[in-house]
Amino acid sequence: KWVEVGQLARTKPTANRPATLYRAAESTVTLHGNEYRAVVVHSSAHDKRRQKKIDRELAREKTSLEKSFTYSLAGCAFFIVMKRLRI
């Protein structure tokens, strides 16, 4: 169960850097026969940064695939034309 912790920084948020909100969850885990208390802290700012990185990587992949596909199609069209000329 997540517990809302809220904003921890004392700095005022700006248009370019909105306030980061935190939430936490606690549980007990067993590792190698030993029991530990696990606390997970989630940051809303990290989500936004990660999403921006994923969006950039997807755009880069799309561009790369489009170039590769266009080049492949151009090569196939050329090959087909050459085959027809030889017949």
How confident is the model over 32-70, as pLDDT tens digits?
A: 999 999 999 888 877 777 788 888 999 999 888 887 776
Asked whether the beta carbons of 20 and 9 are under 8 A apart, the reply is yes
pLDDT higher at 4 or 78: 4
Provide the pLDDT confidence category of residue 78 given band limits of 50, 70 and 90.
Answer: low
- Angstrom CA distances, 44 to 27, 38, 83, stand at 21, 20, 58
- Which pLDDT belongs to residue 76? 60
Say which residue the tokens 């989630």 belong to.
42
Residue 75 has pLDDT above 80, yes or no: no
C-alpha to C-alpha distance for 14 and 32, rounded to whole angstroms = 46
